[in-house]
């Protein structure tokens, strides 16, 4: 005799999955934006600064552009890169804003993301200086 699931058992499993989904999905909604913000903060405070510091140690100055972390600059005899494997794009698919020397960090560089709205100078910006 073959054993199989009855229609009632299958429907019960589908109902249980539906109830669990209804409880979990609303809790996860909105977390994707928090994850993007955290990823940008990590890039701005850890991974890109590490690459910039390595570049500065090899070249004696910070690069004019973040692109030089991936490709050899014109004055790149002592360049030992690439210092970054991927292009410097924030989680909203916009390039990070970089300036060396910085307006806020005169002895270093300014690094920021214009956030979700894509407009620099607004409340959702993520920056490497305190304001």
Domains detected in the chain = 32-127 (3.30.700.10)
Torsion sign across C-alpha atoms 111, 115, 117, 121: negative
- The pTM of the full predicted model, rounded to 2 decimals, is 0.73
| Tens-place pLDDT, residues 79-113 | 898 999 888 899 999 999 999 988 898 888 999 99
Predicted confidence at residue 2, as pLDDT, reads: 66
């Amino acid at each position: 005799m073959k054993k199989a699931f009855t229609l009632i058992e299958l429907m019960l499993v589908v109902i249980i999955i539906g109830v669990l989904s209804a409880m979990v999905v609303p809790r996860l909604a909105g977390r994707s934006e928090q994850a993007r913000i955290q990823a940008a903060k990590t890039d701005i405070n850890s991974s890109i600064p590490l690459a910039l510091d390595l570049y500065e140690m090899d070249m004696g100055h910070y690069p004019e552009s973040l692109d030089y972390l991936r490709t050899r600059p014109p004055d790149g005899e002592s360049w030992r890169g690439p210092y970054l494997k991927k292009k410097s794009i924030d989680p909203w698919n916009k390039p990070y804003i970089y300036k060396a020397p910085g307006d806020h960090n005169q002895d270093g560089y300014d690094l920021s993301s214009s956030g979700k709205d894509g407009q620099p100078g607004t409340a959702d910006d993520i920056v490497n200086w305190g304001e």
